[in-house]
Structure 1
Amino acid sequence: MKKSISLLLIVLLLTSVMLVGCGTDEGNGEGGEAKKAVLLVSGTLGDKSFFDSANEGMKVIKEELGWETHIIEMGTDPSKWEPTLTDVSAEDYDLIICGTFQMQEKIEEVAPKFPDKRYVVFDVSVDYDKADYSNVYSILYKQNEGSYLAGVLAAMVTTSDMPKANEEKIIGFLGGMNIPVINDFLVGYVEGAKSIEPDIKVAVSYVEDFANPAKAKEMCLAQYDMGADIGFNVAGGSGLGQLDAAKEKDCYAIGVDSDQAMLFKDTDPEKAELILTSMLKRIDNSLVRAVKLFEEDKLPFGTVEVLGLAEEAVGLAKNEFYERNVPQEIKDKIEEIEEQVKNGDITVSSAFDMSDDEMQDLLESVRP
């Protein structure tokens, strides 16, 4: 009897040791605890664009990398953003993630106060010459490269015999604001279009607001009325107005940041069919890449990286609508040019390297 009890105790002890041992392998932090990341949204989710792409990245970080993730929608009142960032910095997050030019000054103010915290900022870079930002990793994107492909597509569409193409060589561009990062899209778009059709004209409008789709729609209706048969929106939530205008005028559109055609596939298939592609700024891929590098202790804090086609951080959406509605000749040309950009045979200009006069000259050269 005593032997039986002793054997039972030994078995129970070994089992408990094995369970504890297994427990230490769960998660990816010390003591079996998952690492924690938070995404601060300077606005709200649901823009079917920029922040939604960041949110998709957080889902991958949670589901595939095993992190504990949190999303904080800070709303549209900028006065609340810095206090929220400060509060989050006092908590036990391994990575604090935020982005866009709207958060640059907030990060520059808060990050030095929490030197033991680690920050990832996307689509903007802190000014590393201003202070010690050795705990901040910045991501910029070669949106000019992806937009070059969008321009190639737009020019080939407007000069094609596609059903909704007209005889005018006019394409549209809608920007959220007249700022360098938006103009970087525009520069690539114009250069890509002119590489196909040197005499192309581009109708350019700026909403000066990333959350005003009604105003954006009126601007894009005017672009379509002047002869544009395809337009490219780079305007966050305002860009949804361009998609509404495309549906009303039965013209083509190019989305941005996330795959906007797929977002309307079930809710508005007629609109989805008009969105030939989207120029994806893959915030999701870049955040997943950053977290993987962080896990390997290889994330270069204190620096900025600029990611493009080669890193799969930008590119065109090649979904079922693209495959069905874009002629094979155009798809083949885009594949060819994409490889040329990746391997350096084509170098795309950037708005960040252009003076105001050079930018104005470019706009004048394509004004309808």
Structure 2
Amino acid sequence: MSNSSNFLFKRRQILAASALGALALTAPGLLGTAYAEDPIKVAAIYTVPVEQQWVSRIHKAALAAQERGDIEYVFSESVSNNDYERVMREYAEAGNELIVGEAFAVEDAARAVADDYPDKAFLIGSSFKPDDAHPNFAVFDNYIQDASYLTGIIAGAMTKTNNIGMVGGYPIPEVNRLMQAFMAGAKEINPDVKFQVAFIGSWFDPPKAKETAFAQIDAGADILYAERFGVSDAAKEKGLLAIGNVIDTQADYPDTVVASAIWHFEPTLDAAIEKVKAGNFKAEDYGVYSFMKEGGASLAPLGTFEGKVPEEAMKMVDEKREAITSGAFTVEINDEEPKSN
């Protein structure tokens, strides 16, 4: 079994969970009216396995909320785009008060479902902004550009060839802004750095990501930005370094992954749960809860690379992190597709 397969298997053992059903606490037409001391019913719909980086963070936050008694949680994974609307409706009919998911390929259908269930709250990952025409449909996104910028500083200081490879899933805003922030951080400390940028056209294809990374290594890259699973495996096999994204894989790649930008979905989900319980859930943009100053993003511990990153770089990281948290410095949100240079 490959390193990535071992990692995914372990994550499935840790993350897999199910929840018992409960009576609905919300009366029809009274969105989010629930007793604050009772858990609300939450259902999540994922188009990929729960091991996938982005989804794993939502799943983790939901399991934490369930453990402390705030919610009762059920979920479906690997739901095809063609089935997404059907699954949304089934969960709404089953009495779930808050439905969480991602609608990047089913935007219109997801909003149509929300319109048909005005007494339910929908918190959906989306590239678009909230619309008052769909008052119970709130959106979120992983705005972790702050942490991505900091990992770029580290990568820019660690590269010896000034050639960094970057492998992403799709060139959509959710990916582009993280790559752009990473590139800006690398250029901040190393203006001479160059980038190879590639997208594999999939959210979950570790073999393809690995092969793409090998091609970038052959073209001179000595550090890889691992937006997808499989990239760190390529770096490990070649004895090179990688930068992680969304989750912390340092323990699985102790000689490879230098730093990672971590997404914490807990602030986003907790805010939605509170508003559903208070009865004031509405169409809002929850993206701000992913910002570092809101606790939605962080730089993972360096682990085995503690003390191995140049002191100049770590000093800049600490200064920028403090400035980001205080609001003195803002990392630019650039959703344009990054290009090789």
Change (3 A) 1:134 1:80: same
Q: Is the 8 A contact 1:108 1:126 kept in 2?
A: no
Structure 1 residue 344, shift from structure 2 partner: 3.7
The equivalent residue for 1:54 is 58
- Asked whether 1:313 is paired with 2:299, we answer no
Partner SS for 2:339:
helix
Q: How many residues align?
A: 307
The equivalent residue for 1:45 is 50
Change (3 A) 1:287 1:273: farther
Correspondence for 1:105 among 101, 104, 108: 108
Correspondence for 2:324 among 341, 344, 355: 341
Could you say which structure has the greater relative contact order, defined with CA pairs below 8 angstroms and 6 or more residues apart?
2
Correspondence for 1:275 among 223, 232, 257: 257
Change (3 A) 1:305 1:285: closer
Change (3 A) 1:249 1:190: same
RMSD over aligned CA atoms reads 2.5
Change (3 A) 1:64 1:330: farther
- Asked whether 1:89 is paired with 2:92, we answer yes
Higher alpha-carbon Rg? 1
Structure 1 residue 323, shift from structure 2 partner: 3.2
TM-score (norm 1): 0.76
Q: Determine what percentage of the aligned residue pairs are the same residue.
A: 24
Structure 1 residue 210, shift from structure 2 partner: 1.3
Structure 1 residue 33, shift from structure 2 partner: 4.9
- Asked whether 1:363 is paired with 2:339, we answer yes
Distance 2:214 2:85 in 1: 38
Structure 1 residue 176, shift from structure 2 partner: 0.4
The equivalent residue for 2:237 is 248
Amino acid at match of 2:303: E
The equivalent residue for 1:133 is 134
The equivalent residue for 1:155 is 156
Gap runs ≥5 in structure 1: 1-27, 159-165, 265-270
Pick which of 97-106 and 85-94 moved more.
97-106
Amino acid at match of 1:246: A
Change (3 A) 1:31 1:101: closer
Q: If each structure's helix is expressed as a fraction of its own residues, which one has the higher value? A: 1
Deviation per residue, 1:37-58 (Å, 9 max, x gap): 11111222122x1111111101
Q: Is the 8 A contact 2:236 2:256 kept in 1?
A: yes
Q: Is the 8 A contact 1:50 1:283 kept in 2?
A: no
Change (3 A) 1:289 1:33: closer
Structure 1 residue 326, shift from structure 2 partner: 3.7
Amino acid at match of 1:240: F
Structure 1 residue 32, shift from structure 2 partner: 7.1
- Asked whether 1:205 is paired with 2:198, we answer yes
